[in-house]
């Protein structure tokens, strides 16, 4: 596993990115498949986007929520609460650097 970048120095300071292996067969690749399946299942299910006629923003929020919940419930990812609470702020947008 790659070490975590340092926390932000201030609210809007740049957040250093760490490299992630996204190639076929990588750990990320497997998590992406599991999360994507959970998100798609939600979107197509009775409480999802098609049944509720949701806006695109609601679809994205719902799909991300379902994917994260699924990965957390499976114990495949953990929330670093200390790190989350220690940061003066977290960026909600990121520059696109992954192909």
Question: Other C-beta atoms within 10 Å of 54: how many?
Answer: 16
Q: Any idea which residue has 């197509």 for tokens?
A: 44
Nearest to 32 by CA among 78, 54, 4, 64: 64
Residue 99 class from Cβ within 10 Å (0-12 exposed, 13-18 middle, 19+ buried)? exposed
Confidence of residue 95 (pLDDT cuts 50, 70, 90): low
pTM of the model: 0.80
**96 inside domain:** no
Tens of pLDDT, residue by residue over 50-83, are 888 899 999 999 999 999 999 999 999 999 999 8
Domain-embedded: residue 1: no
In the three-class reduction of DSSP (H, G, I as helix; E, B as strand; rest coil), residue 60 is classed as: helix
In the chain, the number of structural domains is 1
pLDDT for residue 1: 54
Contacts of 76 (CB under 8 A, 6+ apart): 31, 34
Residue-range definition of the domain harbouring residue 57 = 27-86
The answer to whether position 41 is within a domain reads yes
């Amino acid at each position: 596993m790659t070490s975590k970048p340092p926390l932000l120095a201030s609210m809007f300071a740049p957040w250093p990115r760490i490299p992630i292996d996204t190639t076929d067969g990588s750990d990320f690749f497997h998590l992406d498949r599991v999360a994507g399946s959970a998100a798609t299942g939600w979107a197509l299910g009775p409480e999802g986007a098609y049944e509720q006629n949701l806006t695109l923003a609601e679809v994205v929020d719902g799909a991300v929520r379902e994917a994260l919940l699924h990965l957390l419930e499976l114990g495949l990812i953990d929330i670093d609460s200390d790190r989350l609470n220690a940061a003066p702020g977290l960026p909600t947008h990121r520059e696109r650097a992954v192909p």
